[in-house]
Chain A
Amino acid sequence: MSGNVLLQMKNIHKQFPGVYALKDINFELRAGEVHALLGENGAGKSTLIKVLGGIYEADQGEILIEGQKVEIHDVLSAQRNGIAIIHQELVLVPHMTVAENIFLGREKKKGTFVNQDKMVEEAQRLLDTYQMNIEADMLIKDLTIAQQQMVEIVKAISFQSKILVMDEPTSSISDKEVAFLFETMRTLTKKGVGIIYISHKMSELEEICDRVTVMRDGTYVGTETVKETNKDKLIAMMVGRELENYYIRDYQKATEVLLKCENISDGNMARGASFELRKGEIIGFAGLVGAGRSEVMKCLFGLTKKYTGKIYLEGREVKITSPVQAMKAGIALVPEDRKLEGIYKVQSVKFNSTIEVLNRFIHGIFVDEVEEGKITQKYIDMMDTKTPNMDQLIGNLSGGNQQKVMIGRWLATDPKVLILDEPTRGVDVKAKSEIYAIMNELVKGGMSIIMISSELPEIINMSDRVYVMAGGKVQGCLSHEEVSQERIMHMAAI
């Protein structure tokens, strides 16, 4: 259902000191279509969006809206031209109401004072139009992430925006919420709004998108109609070559049980989960957001002070009450939220790589810098991390390389059990494949891996066995031969 051409970006060039961020990009959006923008991290998607949104100004090229050439110098002129961007990190004010946020900067006034009642009334009307179950006088901080996204969408609509950009909107919401989001997007496109949709999740393209434009290294690769293309072709376009073995996994005969957990509960989200892990296998944990998967792992890693249940490691019961104890027992956990729980942004790759193993090179007041460098280099090589040098600030690396440093940091503790919580979130396709290859090597070397992931294809293709969780409990276990998306979803939805 595509109509007239709504937006054209022609021959866009953008240079930063030392980097050519965008080279001759062409992009077209029709009214009523959802147009996906696809590319690895660093391909230039965000830069292009920032040019459209007025955060950056293009060096060359022109932007046409409904055939008219427009000048976009700043955020305000983008808004005036009907462009609204919903960023990955939501930018609402947490301590203000939904209505106040929607009308932020253009408050309804009665004389010199803000007319609160009118704002709430109008906001509510908008919310109700899209059947969003949100009260306009609620505080943003009391809403879920998904609800906050809805508020952002309503805010965009209230600007009479014709062009809506959504940057990875589904990265932190549950499947049910995704369904509602897609429903809302369809309602919008029926009204003639054009949506530019950025996502790493291929599976979403088929469901919601009409066309897809692929970018690579700041250049335009091509535009395809979703119905007439396939995943392999798109990946090839993104990566620039065919990825023959995207998932790399050599299955081997599982041996003795290494870790056994019984009835793990934290009194909140984890409610009696039981599972076991054998030496040299990868077990996947599937489930919806809020199923309690991360919470169980936090118990296992000593981050939850009070848990109940039993943990057996190599047949012996262990009590783990702190991460230090977990590491001593041979358990490592690469956390789910890299930015929040993982990296020290203002510190170097070296600092970030070695923070868990300071004992190996700091003796009292003597620092063995050679050893420190050796440890860092070992994991840079092992993970094939792309960094100019080990003194580079980790914040300057791409998401994929940051994740490699994170995994390397935990591997340095020589774990027997490596827990990876969403190991490929926000990681580009190529780095993903590299991470899978490393996981495969690790288990071949005798390590055991627990992987939590919300990407079903990843779970299915990488795991020896898949545990499905819902409501804080393990609902079932599927072997590599039995597993399928349908069976997982059947168990996960209760």
Chain B
Amino acid sequence: MKKVKTYFKDNLGIIAAFLVLCIFLSVNPETRSSFFTTKNLFNVLRQISTNLYLACGMTMVIILGGIDLSVGSIIALSGCIAAGCVSRYNMPIAVAILIGLLVGLAVGMFNGLVISKTTIPPFIVTLATMNIAKGFAYVYTGGSPVRVVTKEWQFIGAGYIGPFPTPVVILILVLIITAILMNKTKLGRHMYAVGGNQQAAEFSGINVAKVKFCIHAFSGLMAGLAGIVLASRMYSGQPTAGDGAEMDAIAAVVVGGTSMAGGSGKIGGTIIGGLIIGVLNNGLNLLNVNSFWQYVVKGVVILLAVFLDYIRNKKTK
């Protein structure tokens, strides 16, 4: 009970922003009939799923004091390779999914290895792997989408489990796993410690390199998952998929109240952050806002949401 209360208190600004957004879309005559329907809401959830997979990894990376720019490109690479496994080599879908996940994990592990063994900033390392992964996606596909005609392939991205869209079910699992990792394990505590004060963490006997490695690997794995789900939804692996996805993930994390300075942040905030961005995208489409203007509105809302919490924090200090 106390935890629920502090959750609302900590995230008051963004929860308010989110509710205002939802209420507006529910009462506005233009969107009243279309927004608050099961179909649309599931649609929104399906759309934000991939962003939130990334945001789960990104939250942890940012708490660590770093950043992972490579996730967007991992989406393209893992999606293309997984799609290729099915359509080009006729592998079973389960194997293809596994390979896609491993591709993401491998890139993440590579990031983690370089970041933990050197002092090269994560920004630079992941900027490099972002280009490398994107490049490999183009090389593998020759620049055109890898189409998948196998019907079962669509299950993971466009299918349903009971009444729920598959990506949403996966999302719930991913959120539970991330919440456990962050709050219930030693790795989670060590992550907050390393992000908060790396030197102190070394004095505490924390294996800093291992923590960095594990968390970057997790972020890569999440991106691999997002790549497969997206490729499934689009019936094809596309080398252009996930372009700019890292920025949406970072936006969800930051709107969710995680400090870019590292050391603090909660997955609960990131969820709201992801929801705000998702509902906003959906609302703007329902309102038929020109897609060029959508960027402007999105930017302003991100700034406003963060600004609200900034003012609140300033007051309490």
Whether A345 touches B184, Cβ cut-off 8 Å, given contacts A351-B192, A356-B204, A356-B205, is no
Do B205 and A362 touch (CB < 8 A)? no
Q: Which residues of B contact A359 (CB under 8 A)?
A: 186
Q: What's the least CB distance linking B63 to chain A, in Å?
A: 10
A113 within 8 A of B: no
Q: What's the least CB distance linking A303 to chain B, in Å?
A: 7
A346 within 8 A of B: yes
**What is the total number of residues of chain A having a CB less than 8 Å from a CB of chain B?**
28
Do B196 and A346 touch (CB < 8 A)? yes
A158 within 8 A of B: no
A452 within 8 A of B: no
B264 within 8 A of A: yes
A355 within 8 A of B: yes
Q: Which residues of A contact B197 (CB under 8 A)?
A: 340-345
Between B184, B193, B202, B205, the greatest number of chain A beta carbons within 10 A of the residue's beta carbon is seen for: B205
A326 within 8 A of B: yes
Do B264 and A362 touch (CB < 8 A)? no
Do B264 and A358 touch (CB < 8 A)? no
Interface residues of A in 295-344 (CB under 8 A from B): 301-303, 322-324, 326-327, 333, 335, 340-344
Do B189 and A340 touch (CB < 8 A)? no
Q: Closest residue to A396 on the B side, CB-wise?
A: B317
Q: Which residues of A contact B189 (CB under 8 A)?
A: 351, 355, 358, 362
Whether A344 touches B193, Cβ cut-off 8 Å, given contacts A362-B185, A365-B185, A366-B184, is yes
B37 within 8 A of A: no
Per-position 1/0 for B173-211, Cβ under 8 A of A: 000000010011110010011001101101111100000
Do A362 and B200 touch (CB < 8 A)? no
Q: Which residues of A contact B192 (CB under 8 A)?
A: 344, 347, 351
Whether A323 touches B204, Cβ cut-off 8 Å, given contacts A344-B263, A362-B185, A366-B184, is yes
Do A323 and B200 touch (CB < 8 A)? no
Do A303 and B185 touch (CB < 8 A)? no
Q: Which residues of B contact A362 (CB under 8 A)?
A: 184-186, 189
Interface residues of B in 201-230 (CB under 8 A from A): 202-206
Whether A355 touches B202, Cβ cut-off 8 Å, given contacts A362-B186, A365-B184, A366-B184, is no
Q: Closest residue to A333 on the B side, CB-wise?
A: B203
Q: Closest residue to B261 on the A side, CB-wise?
A: A346
Q: Which residues of B contact A333 (CB under 8 A)?
A: 203
Whether A323 touches B263, Cβ cut-off 8 Å, given contacts A362-B189, A367-B184, is no
Whether A341 touches B184, Cβ cut-off 8 Å, given contacts A323-B205, A324-B205, A347-B192, is no
Do A346 and B205 touch (CB < 8 A)? no
Q: What's the least CB distance linking B258 to chain A, in Å?
A: 11
Q: Closest residue to B197 on the A side, CB-wise?
A: A344
- A350, B52: Cα distance in complex, Å: 30
Q: Which residues of B contact A366 (CB under 8 A)?
A: 184
Do A341 and B263 touch (CB < 8 A)? no
Do A367 and B264 touch (CB < 8 A)? no
Do A323 and B180 touch (CB < 8 A)? no
Q: Closest residue to B192 on the A side, CB-wise?
A: A347
Q: Closest residue to B188 on the A side, CB-wise?
A: A362
Do B185 and A341 touch (CB < 8 A)? no
Do A343 and B203 touch (CB < 8 A)? no
Q: Closest residue to B184 on the A side, CB-wise?
A: A365
Q: What's the least CB distance linking B215 to chain A, in Å?
A: 16
Q: Which residues of A contact B204 (CB under 8 A)?
A: 323, 355-356
Q: Which residues of B contact A347 (CB under 8 A)?
A: 192-193, 196, 263-264
Q: Closest residue to A367 on the B side, CB-wise?
A: B184
Do B196 and A345 touch (CB < 8 A)? yes
- A341, B203: Cα distance in complex, Å: 7
Q: Which residues of A contact B183 (CB under 8 A)?
A: 367
Whether A343 touches B200, Cβ cut-off 8 Å, given contacts A351-B189, A355-B189, A356-B205, is yes
Do A323 and B184 touch (CB < 8 A)? no
Q: What's the least CB distance linking B9 to chain A, in Å?
A: 12
Q: Which residues of A contact B264 (CB under 8 A)?
A: 346-347
Between A302, A346, A362, the greatest number of chain B beta carbons within 10 A of the residue's beta carbon is seen for: A346
- A346, B193: Cα distance in complex, Å: 10
Do B196 and A323 touch (CB < 8 A)? no
Residues of A within 8 A of B (CB): 301-303, 322-324, 326-327, 333, 335, 340-347, 351, 355-356, 358-359, 362, 364-367
* Beyond known contacts A324-B205, A341-B203, A345-B263: 12 more, CB 8 A cutoff: A303-B203, A323-B202, A323-B203, A333-B203, A340-B199, A344-B192, A345-B196, A346-B259, A347-B196, A358-B186, A365-B185, A367-B183
Residues of B within 8 A of A (CB): 180, 183-186, 189, 192-193, 196-197, 199-200, 202-206, 259, 263-264
Q: Which 7 A-B pairs have the closest CB atoms?
A: A323-B205, A344-B196, A324-B205, A346-B264, A346-B263, A365-B184, A358-B186
A–B complex contacts, Cβ < 8 Å, 15 sampled = A323-B203, A340-B197, A340-B199, A341-B199, A341-B203, A342-B197, A344-B196, A346-B196, A346-B263, A347-B196, A347-B264, A362-B184, A365-B184, A366-B184, A367-B184
